[in-house]
Chain A
């Protein structure tokens, strides 16, 4: 999907390998709606390894279908969501995670927004505090301006 979206704007790939989405097929769906909902939620956060920008939930690639089935197998086997995700990551690497883990260098990514916000808020606070007090006395009017002022008042 996303590769398609990119295509339309980059307009550079001569033949996108995928077409419109078929994604989850009816035969994959689990009978238990609760478990199926979990499977869907997990597969929305896993990236298709071969098609750049899509989650396995949206992707039409055969490997994504395999991964969707793996996710459902693990769920049926009683794994927790985290275990299922770890299982897939152990095979395909962290590239498949759309939600990068907040550890190691990724902390920079996760903390960048909040820290810039705090820095900015502190800066803004100091700036506004300063704007609150008159910094310098007003510069005296020049002779021209005095004349113009008298002129205006005179009217």
Chain B
């Protein structure tokens, strides 16, 4: 009964979304206040209906209702409760429902928080958001309905893939979707502004918080996914340049570009057309990501028709929304006249450089991801594009970005001077260079990646600190320190996010350059040296888990005879899915992680054991969190709220 209720709510949500898409749009065209007013309740009702539907599906999973195909395929009575709940979105149909829920949530948020928007813009934004909802709800109901029943329910389910039964992964998809779908707001604002025919500073200010929120969620989502890959997959890798990862990375890069170009629109009324284009493309890449993930076209070039119906449908959504928005853009872009003037050396130019590097970086990731497909289609060549290509083609742009970041961040608007602008940064530059060279000298014969990472990290982090400090003006130190606390949160957010980026760049280089690896056979009771540590395999035991059997090793790590930690790496076997998993045991440290993996028993006795020392691993995810926190600081800046009040007053005056 509850399941039928959820199914019905979903169909009803589609009907409401159709109303939300059409009526306010027509109302905005006719300047009819009553019709435009439909937008708000429609957006909220759509959200409530999809939330009810989502709750019904969750109920089915929690109570193990095996009359639902989806529950049978992805759940099991013995599965821990957390994974029964995360199983709701741990599959294609359920994750689409989560996607639709978040889409509707953003639409409803626009209705709730959009009080300061001009009425026609608000109606159009919500209507465009509704149209995306229509597309995805139809996709779900016609090709991927989560509420399909079985005539004869089985006694138990087939369980969730054991690799997905993990707390890190339980929360990875929701964050990622909040990011992906959050970019739909930027898209809706862009399309609404194009229909409206007006892009001004206020538009830049309105679109920025939504993009910022989407970017924060994307950052956390990607970091969670990368962390999961690190501890779950068993060899300490954190990024694989896999098409699915790239699918989330491209919108992330473009959303950073969008964040920065929207600043130029807001402060200087320039780069309008480019910003609109970025807003459209950022969501476009979210859709492309959805296509890559759900059609199976790109990862497995050989099973082209993995799920043709779904793939074709998403391609149609992509074609309609991108085609429509870009056509509209082509007609209206010319009328978006830029106002602010600026010189070659200025903050504006620095942000243009930032946008150029980020967009090209995203493009490189894009072409690398789809090249196997293109090469097969047009040249009949079956080939692969992997890590070496991305390292070579992507890294230069990332490095260039880190190099110009501190200089650009301190450049004055309109007109600046390179040398004068860089003067406060000279100590940071010298220090970065000196420490980088020192590291280079100390590690003779190893890759240059480590020293470069150190230098870039110091440069960007110190640059962020100098930037913040320079905001406090001149005068006595005490006065400047006091002023530091009174700086706007946006300044703190900027410095924090930039510093987080520096830390992440450093950690990526450090992990790639200085990882220690050891592979060997160890017998019970045997010891071996790992860097400065001595590791002893004391015992290997069979342990029974809730829905798996485990082979658990107990390993003692000592340094100079003193016990550092006891780690218990496992090999698990999940009988329902017939699948083994490796559970690495990690001693998380500030400067390094000790990472132990137990492998198969060997013919001659003993076990294969893999050990790694991962330098600065926590800095990588810490850097991502700091970046996201910086975004959050900016999001709570008072200026957004003050501006909201101010524009409400001006919006009361009839437009034009």
What is A's interface to B at a CB cutoff of 8 Å? 1-12, 14-16, 19-27, 29, 44-45, 47, 52-53, 55, 58, 93-100, 104-106, 109-110, 112-113, 116-117, 120-121, 124, 127-129, 131-134
Contact = CB atoms under 8 A, between A and B. Distances in A.
A50 B348 CA distance: 50
B163 A7 contact: yes
Interface in B255-276: 270
B242 A53 contact: yes
B356 A117 contact: yes
B349 A5 contact: no
B234 A20 contact: yes
Given A11-B90, A121-B356, A112 B343 contact: no
Contacts of B394: 113
B307 interface: yes
Interface string B219-248: 000000000010001110100101111000
27 contacts: A1-B237, A2-B240, A2-B242, A4-B163, A4-B233, A5-B242, A6-B244, A9-B244, A9-B293, A11-B90, A12-B306, A21-B234, A21-B235, A44-B387, A95-B383, A98-B384, A98-B386, A99-B388, A105-B379, A113-B397, A120-B359, A124-B356, A131-B270, A131-B342, A131-B348, A132-B341, A132-B343
A25 B608 contact: yes
Contact of A112 (B245, B344, B367, B577): B367
Contact of B382 (A21, A22, A93, A110): A93
B229 A5 contact: yes
A134 B90 CA distance: 56
A145 to B, nearest CB: 14
Nearest to B289: A9
Interface stretch (B6-14, B323-331, B579-587): B579-587
A129 B237 CA distance: 45
A25 B604 CA distance: 14
Contacts, number: 182
Contact of B235 (A3, A23, A110): A23
B385 A109 contact: yes
B342 A100 contact: no
Given A52-B299, A113-B363, A8 B161 contact: yes
Contact of B342 (A16, A98, A112, A132): A132
B400 to A, nearest CB: 9
B31 interface: no
The 9 closest A-B pairs by CB, nearest first: A98-B386, A20-B582, A99-B388, A113-B364, A2-B242, A105-B379, A117-B360, A26-B521, A19-B580
Nearest to B367: A112
A21 B582 contact: yes
A59 to B, nearest CB: 11
Nearest to A129: B344
Nearest to B574: A19
Given A5-B229, A131-B270, A47 B386 contact: yes
Q: Give the one of B229, B234, B378, B602 with max A CB within 10 A.
A: B234
A152 B388 CA distance: 63
B386 A19 contact: no
A21 B608 contact: no
Contacts of B90: 11
B92 A12 contact: yes
A98 B520 CA distance: 27
B299 A6 contact: yes
A79 to B, nearest CB: 19
B164 interface: yes
A7 B161 CA distance: 9
Contacts of A99: 386, 388-389, 392
A100 B161 contact: no
Contacts of A106: 375, 383
B519 interface: yes
A153 B244 CA distance: 60
Contacts of A20: 233-234, 580-582
Given A10-B92, A113-B360, A100 B344 contact: no
Contacts of B371: 100, 109
A45 to B, nearest CB: 5
B240 A112 contact: no
A5 B233 contact: yes
B341 A127 contact: no
B348 A6 contact: no
A110 B364 CA distance: 9
Given A22-B599, A95-B383, A99-B386, A128 B233 contact: no
Nearest to B572: A20
Given A15-B579, A20-B582, A105-B375, A128 B387 contact: no
B385 A132 contact: no
A29 B521 CA distance: 11
Contact of B240 (A5, A29, A113): A5
B471 interface: no
Contacts of A117: 356-357, 360, 397
B169 interface: yes
